[in-house]
Every structure is written in structure tokens, then in C-alpha cells.
């Protein structure tokens, strides 16, 4: 919860600057990449989390990471600022909030789907179009998770909406109807 509260102002400020420079999608991709790098590199994360390391040293390391990653000037400057303020542990929350702001701005919605087998490109397109209609005509960005334990069907989550079209869900609903008479 604290990370979301700390991350929101940073994400809003970065989004505003990116929008002014017409770099919203580029910065979003780069921010996601940086957050993943910081999450996966334990040594880097530990170094930047140490309170006794001077802010100038943290900024120098962040600048080096940005240069090696080939980040845009805006993302590089942002990363340096966040590192100097000791907030790199909030990068994932900042990135999530940024993506939410970007999606709202572009009229997109994200949907996480759990399926038994991977979808073909045609199935993905059809599902995305149907979900777009159901979610107010907005563009849908799908994130797929293949769950080998599922018998079949699909479970869709978008925001607070969950649609259970899995075989297990259908069987459970049928069992309840039969049990209730």
C-alpha cells in the first residue's frame, strides 16, 4: 500500500512530462524494463537500498544503468532522480501506476486471461474484440497465463471484473443448481 502511495506522484509527474514530449509509450516501455532490471538484479537493488550510500553515488550508478540500457533522456533523468531520493524500491509501483495512466489516456484496458492452452493469433484477436465490446468499446491489451491445471475454457480478469468461462467454473455452477433443486 505504501509503495502505491509513494509511487503515484512520481508516475503522474513522469507521465505529464512524457505526454508533453509525445513519448508516453516509449517511457512506459523503458520504465517497465528498468523496473524489471531492478527487481531481478539483487546486487543493484541492495546497493541502492542502503541508507548510508551517499545520494550522489546512487545517482551515478543509476546514470550508468540508464546509459548501458540505452534509455531516453527523460527516463534516464527520472531514474537518476528516483535513485538519488532513495526510491528505487518503488519502481515497480511507479511503473504500474504509469501504465494505468497511459491506458486511461489511450482508452485502453488491460485484461489478464487464464487459459488451459495457448491461444492462436486469430483466437487472441477474437477474444480481444469481444472483450472490447463488453468493456465499453475500449481497446483491450491481453496478458495470457497458460494454466495446465485447467481443464478448458478461460478466466478473464479486468480491473474488478472477473468472468469465469472455465470448464471447472461451469461444472461448479451446474453442481450448485442441481444441489439447490
Q: What is the average pLDDT across 18-23?
A: 94
Chain CA centroid to CA 177, Å: 38
Helix axes 55-69, 73-84, angle to 10 degrees: 150
Q: What is the average pLDDT across 58-63?
A: 92
Q: Is the confidence at residue 87, as pLDDT, over 60?
A: yes
Measured CA to CA, the distance from residue 180 to residue 3 in angstroms comes to 45
Terminal Cα distance for the chain, rounded: 44
Contacts 24+ apart (CB under 8 A), 147-153: 147/114, 147/115, 147/116, 148/116, 150/114, 150/115, 150/116, 151/116, 152/116, 153/115, 153/116
Q: What pLDDT is recorded for position 1?
A: 46
Q: What is the average pLDDT across 25-39?
A: 92
Q: Is the confidence at residue 97, as pLDDT, over 90?
A: yes
111 φ, ψ (degrees, to nearest 5): -130, 130
Q: What is the mean pLDDT of the chain?
A: 88
Q: What pLDDT is recorded for position 12?
A: 95
Measured CA to CA, the distance from residue 175 to residue 2 in angstroms comes to 42
Q: What is the average pLDDT across 69-81?
A: 93
Q: Is the confidence at residue 98, as pLDDT, over 90?
A: yes
Q: Is the confidence at residue 67, as pLDDT, over 60?
A: yes
Q: What is the pairing mode between strands 161-164 and 139-146?
A: unpaired
Q: What is the average pLDDT across 145-157?
A: 87
Q: Which residues contact 53 (CB under 8 A, 6 or more apart)?
A: 47
Give tens-digit pLDDT for 34-50.
Answer: 999 888 888 888 888 88
The whole-model pTM stands at 0.75
Measured CA to CA, the distance from residue 101 to residue 106 in angstroms comes to 9
Amino acid at each position: 500500500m505504501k509503495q502505491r502511495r509513494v509511487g503515484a506522484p512520481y508516475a503522474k509527474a513522469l507521465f505529464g512530462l512524457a505526454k508533453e514530449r509525445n513519448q508516453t509509450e516509449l517511457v512506459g516501455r523503458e520504465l517497465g524494463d528498468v523496473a524489471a532490471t531492478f527487481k531481478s538484479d539483487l546486487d543493484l537493488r541492495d546497493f541502492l537500498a542502503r541508507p548510508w550510500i551517499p545520494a550522489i553515488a546512487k545517482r551515478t550508478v543509476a546514470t550508468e544503468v540508464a546509459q548501458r540500457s540505452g534509455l531516453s533522456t527523460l527516463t534516464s533523468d527520472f531514474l537518476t532522480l528516483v535513485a538519488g531520493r532513495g526510491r528505487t524500491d518503488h519502481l515497480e509501483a511507479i511503473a504500474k501506476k504509469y501504465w494505468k495512466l497511459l491506458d486511461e489516456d489511450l482508452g485502453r484496458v488491460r485484461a489478464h486471461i487464464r487459459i488451459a492452452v495457448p491461444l492462436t493469433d486469430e483466437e487472441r484477436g477474437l477474444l480481444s474484440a469481444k472483450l472490447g465490446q463488453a468493456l465499453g468499446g475500449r481497446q483491450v491489451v491481453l496478458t495470457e497465463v497458460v494454466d495446465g491445471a485447467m481443464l478448458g475454457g478461460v478466466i478473464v480478469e479486468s480491473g474488478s471484473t472477473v468472468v469465469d468461462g472455465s470448464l471447472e467454473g461451469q461444472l461448479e455452477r451446474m453442481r450448485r443448481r442441481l444441489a439447490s433443486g
